[in-house]
Structure 1
Amino acid sequence: MSTNTVLIIGGTGKVGRQLTRLLAATSIPTFQSSRSGAATTEPNAANVKPIAFDWNDESTWEAALSSGATSIFLVGPPVLDMLPPMQSFIDRARKGSAKRFILLSGSPWGADINGPSTGRVHAYLKQLGDQGEIEWAALRPTWFQQNLFEYENHRLSIVNESTIYSATGTGKIPWITTEDVAASALQLLTQPDAPNDEYLLFGPELLSYDDKKQIADILTDVTGRKIVHKNLSAKELADRFASAGMPRNYAEMMGAMDTDIKNGSEDRNNSVVLALTGRKPLSFRDVAEEVKNAWATTEA
């Protein structure tokens, strides 16, 4: 694209804030949306303008739709059926200045108009792209390394119980960082050529929770105390998440996805991050060393 203005929907989320940081280091005009519309905390981000946006309140959409954005990074609302509000927004945006849409999806969900979560949105973008109406991409990252130190259910069980709970058994995951996802998104938002494809994004190595020299052992090394993995059934995991306040249907979906991991759904890898960004993705050990204070106990 010869000229570019970027709109980040979900600009303060796990990936959105990393993408904002990367764009703040460029001269690309950028609009960072959040429900509050608060200004970015990135230093020297004169090119980044905050706007308020809420998927559940269409009266907030106008600022985003009138921003002049040519490329939009889409993070959907926290509901299982994301298509109705996202389709409405996409249709309105493409009638204006928006030409390219980059969807943050996930490795479990391919393009499926009858599927759950982002799968239906992915299918809709692909349909529009195949018709030549938009440029598009669907980012399908695997599980985030950040889940272990930013997601409180995992972080607190490590801090308070020295235990990671999952229903994954010895299933392996090519854990990725949100920094690597954001760097991939930046490339697809700004490159001259239309991406028009899906991109499975994986980290550099396959790690289970409890095999030798895997996640629990790495956490043991960096925290200096023994961290163990406790394998649960999918129902036990869903019950645990629901008791912590997670909606029941979402908790059950999380349990089902862990079962898929146990059965090998994430036992795969590729070099897509390297191809998009020009560098290898970050390893879990390196990230864990950097953020190890997140798992510190309050004991003297």
Structure 2
Amino acid sequence: MPTYAVTGATGRLGRLVIEQLLDTGVPAADIAAIVRSPEKAAALAARGVEIRKATYDDPSTLPGAVAGVRRLLLISGDTPGQRVAQHTAVIDAAKLAGVERLIYTSILNADTTTNPLAPEHKATEEVLATSGLAYTVLRNSWYTENYTDQLPQYLTSGTILGATGGSKVSAATRADYARAAAVALTREEDGNSVYELGGTAFTFDELADAVTEVTGTTVVHQDLSAAELASALQGVGLDAGTAGFVAALDHSIAIGELETDSDDLSRLIGRPSTPLRDAIRAAQA
């Protein structure tokens, strides 16, 4: 039976976690990939990883998916408003199956932040705390890819719009967070742990400077108020609700909620987080 299981294993983070496990010497036979669509996991199956079909939305599929597993990584769902019920179903199945430790991907400062994404993470952490399971919470800050994925847009417009007020964001690459999750999944640890994870912090001015230096195309940061940013986003086609949501995320940065001085990430992965310019070079390539 597999020792480790990863939910959402064909997603951008889950696939990287499994690759990290394999690359660090965990036998494929010890890994189960829990997926919604097994056909999307063909590459993992070809490497010898066991594929188990289950969905967060169908609790009846979950006990079989986690049966015999010692360590389970629960990657948070992507459906707002449904995450707590989905995560609780996984936690309940893990408890029923006798999982020894559950690792959960949360958000930075989940218990104190006003970030609009945080309430469902905080609620999930509360479910974990009362579950009786041993657990590790990985409170991830922003992905660097939130910005590098927009590189073509930055280069076309010459502008990075934001409403961060000059504050910093401790972003790290998805690969960095995946490495941290793989370490947390495999390490021996007593009791429960909460890690605040983030990379080297940068401002949007520094982001614009890094994009300019790496690409050779001048890109500048234009700092707006949250209301101005929401209006600008509606002007390029976002609906009012989505535009307001994005502006609220930037406001969370502006008040310092996505910056951390914790070194938990570098300690877990055994190296500094990926430099911003290296991430931009990778995106450009």
Query: Which range, TM-score by smaller chain?
Result: 0.7 to 0.9
Matched residue of 2:41: which SS?
coil
Poorly superposed stretches of 4+, deviation over 4 Å = 238-251
The 2-side partners of 1:103 and 1:165 are apart by: 32
Alignment CA distance shift 1:158-1:102 (3 Å) = same
The reply on whether 1:260 has 2:252 as its aligned counterpart is: yes
Report the TM-score, using the length of structure 2 for normalisation.
Answer: 0.85
Q: How big is each residue's C-alpha offset from its partner over 1:137-194, in whole Å with a ceiling of 9 and x where there is no partner?
A: 11112111111233xxx34422432322221121111221111211111121111223
The Cα of 1:111 is off from its aligned counterpart by 7.8
The 1-side partners of 2:103 and 2:239 are apart by: 28
Alignment CA distance shift 1:164-1:260 (3 Å) = same
The 1-side partners of 2:273 and 2:7 are apart by: 24
Q: Give 5+ residue unaligned stretches, structure 1.
A: 294-300
Matched residue of 1:105: which SS?
strand
The Cα of 1:7 is off from its aligned counterpart by 1.3
The 2-side partners of 1:221 and 1:253 are apart by: 30
Structure-2 residue corresponding to 1:32: 33
Alignment CA distance shift 1:21-1:285 (3 Å) = same
The Cα of 1:44 is off from its aligned counterpart by 6.8
Structure-1 residue corresponding to 2:134: 135
The Cα of 1:23 is off from its aligned counterpart by 1.6
The reply on whether 1:72 has 2:72 as its aligned counterpart is: yes
Structure-2 residue corresponding to 1:298: none
The Cα of 1:236 is off from its aligned counterpart by 4.2
- Counterparts of 1:1-300 in structure 2 under 5 Å? 5-25=3-23, 26-27=26-27, 29-37=30-38, 38-41=40-43, 45-46=47-48, 48-66=49-67, 68-77=68-77, 78-110=79-111, 116-128=119-131, 133-150=132-149, 154-194=150-190, 196-203=192-199, 205-210=200-205, 214-238=206-230, 251-293=243-285
Alignment CA distance shift 1:252-1:13 (3 Å) = farther
Q: How big is each residue's C-alpha offset from its partner over 1:94-121, in whole Å with a ceiling of 9 and x where there is no partner?
A: 1113121111111142289xx7121100
Q: Percent identity?
A: 26
Report the TM-score, using the length of structure 1 for normalisation.
Answer: 0.81
Q: Which amino acid aligns with 1:104?
A: T
The 2-side partners of 1:249 and 1:39 are apart by: 34
Question: Retained in 2: the 8 A contact 1:105–1:141?
Answer: yes
> Higher helix share goes to which structure?
2
Q: State how many pairs are aligned.
A: 276
The Cα of 1:62 is off from its aligned counterpart by 4.8
Alignment CA distance shift 1:174-1:79 (3 Å) = same
The Cα of 1:254 is off from its aligned counterpart by 3.3
- RMSD of Structure 2 on Structure 1 (CA): 2.8
